[in-house]
Structure 1
Amino acid sequence: MALKSIIYKADLNISDMDRGYYADHSLTIARHPSETDERMMIRVLAFAIHAAERLEFGKGISDTEEPDIWLKDYTDAIQLWIEVGQPDDRRLLKACGRSEQVIVYSFASASDIWWKAMNSRLDRAKNLRVMNVPSEQSQALEKLAQRNMQLQCTIQDGQIWMSAGDASVQIDLETLKDFA
């Protein structure tokens, strides 16, 4: 018998002063049995950074044809494709061909090794941005995970703060590759 996804609920309040975006989102997050709380919380972080009316979670880890998060326009064209973790170059190049922009949020201590292997293979992908969440910060973010979460995300001058109750985590993203 296959294991089922674990359902998490999050009320996410976003104050993105850099974009002038202020909204509340009620998220239902299906955590795949093979997914960690750390990876799930990086997905929530990526959602908060790019929040928009039509942004939604994809099947990601359980479907090779969908990203972790995506934004489609009203014609179903993919405007933004977001991957979390360390996807392979074939998956990313295929995503770059299907979407206007592709963004990867890598995390974990092995991100540097992964990026050294991928960098030259992905150099031609002009619509690809790769961001890294330092492992100490991604692990601190993991500690905010609960089945029912009340999260606040504040973004100002490129700094990101994610908090739940009395706990707060500052996220300082590292750009590994930017759009050409």
Structure 2
Amino acid sequence: MALRATIFKLELHIADMVRGYYNSHVLTLARHPSETEERLMLRILVFALLADEQLVFTRGLSIADEPALWQKDLTGLILNWVDLGHPDERRLLQASGKSAQVTVCCYGGSASQVWWQGVQSTVSRMPNLKVISVAPEAVRALAGLLQRTMTLHISIDEGTALVTSDRDSVPVDISVWH
């Protein structure tokens, strides 16, 4: 018998002082059986960092050729392809051809630095690539906020996101690598 996805309900309030984006979203997320709590919370954080009315969660881990999130315009054109972790060069080059913007969020600490050094020479010439990094300790702390039904407030200002729930607050430093 196959394991089923776990459903999470989220009320997300975003205050992004850098972009001037202030909005609330009511979201339903499915956590694939092989997805960790850390990765799920990172998807939520990245959603807040890039928030837009057209940004949506994809089927992600269930479908290999879809990113974790994407933003499409009304014609179906992909405006932003958002991957998490350490995608290979070929995937990034393909995403760059399909999308106006490609965003990668790394969260593996030194493993992410090794990945970036390995792909940097090939993908650094992609003008539509943005690579950001979050410390693994911060991602683990975010996982401590996870509940099946939750309300999160995320304030973003100058490279830091403050994620607050009824349980606790977690400051997350966002490093831009490219």
Say whether the fold is shared (TM-score over 0.5): yes
Structure 1 residue runs of 5 or longer lacking an equivalent are: none
SS at match of 1:173: strand
**Offset at 1:100?**
0.3
By how many angstroms is 1:166 displaced? 4.2
Tell me by how many angstroms 1:64 deviates: 2.1
Asked if the contact 1:46–1:105 (Cα under 8 Å) also holds between the matched residues in 2, the reply is yes
Q: For residues 52-71 of structure 1, what are the structure 2 equivalents within 5 Å?
A: 52-71=52-71
Cα distance, 1:124 vs. partner? 2.5
Per the alignment, residue 118 of structure 1 pairs with: 119
Cα deviation per residue 1:68-114 (whole Å; 9 max; x = unaligned)?
11111111101011111111111111111000000001102321222
Secondary structure of 1:34's partner?
Answer: coil
User: TM-score, length-normalised on structure 2?
Assistant: 0.94
Map of 1:7 onto structure 2: 7
Please list every run of at least 4 consecutive aligned residues from structure 1 whose deviation after the TM superposition is greater than 3 angstroms. Answer: none
Check conservation: 1:108, 1:138, Cα contact below 8 A.
no
Q: Which residue of 1 aligns with 2:78?
A: 78
Q: Distance in 2 between matches of 1:112 and 1:98?
A: 26
Q: 2:151 aligned with 1:150, yes or no? A: yes
Tell whether the 8 Å contact from 2:145 to 2:167 is kept in structure 1 after alignment: no
One-letter amino acid of the structure 1 residue matched with residue 159 of structure 2: G
C-alpha RMSD of the superposition: 1.2
Unmatched 5+ stretches in structure 2: none
Task: Please state whether the residue corresponding to 2:19 is helix, strand or coil.
Answer: coil
Give the Cα–Cα distance (whole angstroms) in 2 for the partners of residues 27 and 135 of structure 1.
25
What is the CA deviation profile of residues 16-38 of structure 1, one whole-angstrom value per residue up to 9, with x for unaligned ones?
12222111111111111111000
Preserved contact between residue 162 and residue 170 of structure 1 (Cα < 8 Å): yes
The residue type paired with residue 116 of structure 2 is W
**Aligned AA (2:139):** S
Who is 1:174 aligned against?
A: 175
Distance 2:107 2:80 in 1: 20
Letter in 1 for 2:170: V
> Shift of residue 152 of structure 1?
0.4
